[in-house]
Structure 1
Amino acid sequence: MNYIKSLRQYVGTSPIIAPGSAIIVLNEKNEILLQLRSDTDDWGLPGGGMEIGDSFEETAQKELYEETGLIAQELKLVGLASGKELYYKFPHGDEIYNATAIFKATAVKGILKQNEESKDLKYFPLEKLPDLNYTTLKLLENVGYISTN
């Protein structure tokens, strides 16, 4: 069972701490892979919540494959992000404080394919990003890929 969904049975929409991983994938043109998320209808990094017993690395591998069809041949931890800046309230009312390990996939294989969590998957030049969700803005800012100043 999904860990976050099981917690929600007890806490409802109240804020919870949600450990997880986000993955930065760059193509040969140094464009970043983003997904148009079906749950929030905005662009973000592939990633998601940790399941019981998984490591941050295992979470990153699983989420990348589930959401994009890609397999990371190597992951490099590039940052950690947590705290009140990573609070998020989903459109359906659930509240979370993300505690996220940010990885860069240094080599990937496979063919891009979306699942039910993605409306679209596209690579974007870092200087021409679409409107990003707040969490992705904070994660990319945290690891120096963008500046919002």
Structure 2
Amino acid sequence: MNYIQYIRQYVGTKPIIAPGSAIIVLNDNNEILLQLRSDTNDWGLPGGGMELGDSFEETAQKELFEETGLIAHELKLVGLASGKELYYQFPHGDEIYNATAIFQATTVTGTLKIDKESKDLQYFSLNQLPKLNYTTVKLLEKIGYIPTDIV
């Protein structure tokens, strides 16, 4: 059982603060890696919640590998995002306020593989992004990757 599941035993679907990491991977064409999430059926950055004892960097590395099969050998912190604008309610009712460290993986190896959290993994031009989930829009706005009027 992961940390969020453990907390949910006590608070149910009520809002919680969810620390985590999101990872930006750019290919040689400066296209961004996105995953079509199986839980929300929309596109977002690889990433996820922090487990007890993990650092933001460890969370980023673990989530990137689990969700994409890629190994980040070098990470650069490019932003922090939190607050009211990062409130999210999942389709099943759980409510969270994300507190997210945003990293860019500057060196990655491995082969893309889809796991249970993803329906698809694709690289997209920053000028031709698919419909992104709300949280990803807010994270990319925070670091200046997309204009604030995209929503």
TM-score by length of 1: 0.99
1:133 CA drift (Å): 0.2
Q: How far apart are the structure 2 equivalents of 1:99 and 1:114?
A: 26
Runs of 4+ in structure 1 over 4 Å off: none
The reply on whether 1:89 has 2:74 as its aligned counterpart is no
* Cα deviations by residue, 1:15-63 (Å, 9 ceiling, x for unpaired): 0000000000000000000000001100000000000000000000000
Opposite residue 122 of structure 2, the aligned amino acid is K
* Cα deviations by residue, 1:66-124 (Å, 9 ceiling, x for unpaired): 00000011000000000000000000000000000000000110000010000000000
- After TM superposition, the structure 1 = structure 2 runs for residues 29-108 of structure 1, keeping only pairs within 5 Å, are 29-108=29-108
Q: How far apart are the structure 1 equivalents of 2:140 and 2:107?
A: 19
CA RMSD of aligned residues (A): 0.4
Q: How far apart are the structure 2 equivalents of 1:114 and 1:58?
A: 20
- After TM superposition, the structure 1 = structure 2 runs for residues 110-149 of structure 1, keeping only pairs within 5 Å, are 110-149=110-149
Q: How far apart are the structure 2 equivalents of 1:15 and 1:148?
A: 25
| Percentage of pairs with the same residue | 81
> What SS does the aligned partner of 1:116 have?
coil
Opposite residue 49 of structure 2, the aligned amino acid is G
1:148 CA drift (Å): 2.5
Q: How far apart are the structure 1 equivalents of 2:34 and 2:51?
A: 22
TM-score by length of 2: 0.98
Give the unaligned 5+ runs of structure 1.
none
Give the unaligned 5+ runs of structure 2.
none
